[in-house]
Amino acid sequence: MSLLKPDLILGHVTDITPELLQRHRLRGLIVDLDNTLIPYGSFAEALEVQTWTGELLERGIKMYMVSNALPERVAFWTQRLNFPGVGLASKPLPRAFKKAVKRMGLQSRQVAMVGDQLFTDVLGGNLIGAFTIMVRPLSDNALPHTKFTRRMEQLVLRRFSSSFTGD
């Protein structure tokens, strides 16, 4: 069960500040794309997120996108946000996460995986020994499979809820 436990639950990626990263001795972020950085399937400009990534990069935080989305979509956003990434990543399999850590020139424990899904982002991040941050999904794509996943996530998170209170 602990492989499904995020180290931190936040509302939005922009809640991740340089100070928060410093406090946890983190020097790099692996970020999910859909519903974490950008609403599912969107190509619309996202100034708040662009400002946030710009500031972190300027502070020397390494960033790498790991997404299960199509490579064309990932390429569009990595170009716009100025950091590298990979699509069709088969999360939660560790391969893409390991590659991301290596490309950033860091160790897994120096990296946080940030995503909106427990069974892909958090599980994958925990499998490689990274710090894991779960954020609230930006939009709810109403696919039946997603609804089921969200219900399962709620069940798992409820089991951990006592350890998050007062955090």
Q: Smallest distance, Å, CB 165 to Mg ion? A: 26
- 76, 74, 118, 73: which is closest to 96 by C-alpha? 74
Q: Report the residue from 77, 108, 116, 135 that binds Mg ion according to the rule CB under 5 A.
A: 116
Binning the chain into helix, strand and coil, the percentages to the nearest 5 are 45, 15, 40
CA angle 8, 14, 19 (to 5 degrees): 70
| CB 106, CB 28: distance < 8 Å | yes
Comparing CA positions, the residue from 25, 162, 1 lying closest to residue 107 is: 25
Nearest approach, Cβ of residue 162 and Mg ion (Å): 26
Residues 32-61 that bind Mg ion (CB under 5 A): 32, 34-36
Token look-up 């509302």 returns 11
Name the one range near Mg ion by CB under 5 A: 47-55, 89-97, 115-123, 124-132: 115-123
- Write down the least CB distance from residue 34 to Mg ion, Å: 4
Based on the shown chain and the rule CB under 5 A, indicate whether residue 153 belongs to the binding site for Mg ion. Answer: no
Q: How far is the CB of 69 from Mg ion (least distance, A)?
A: 9
Binding range to Mg ion, per CB under 5 A, among 14-22, 25-33, 76-84, 145-153: 25-33
Give the interface with Mg ion as residue ranges (CB under 5 A).
32, 34-36, 116
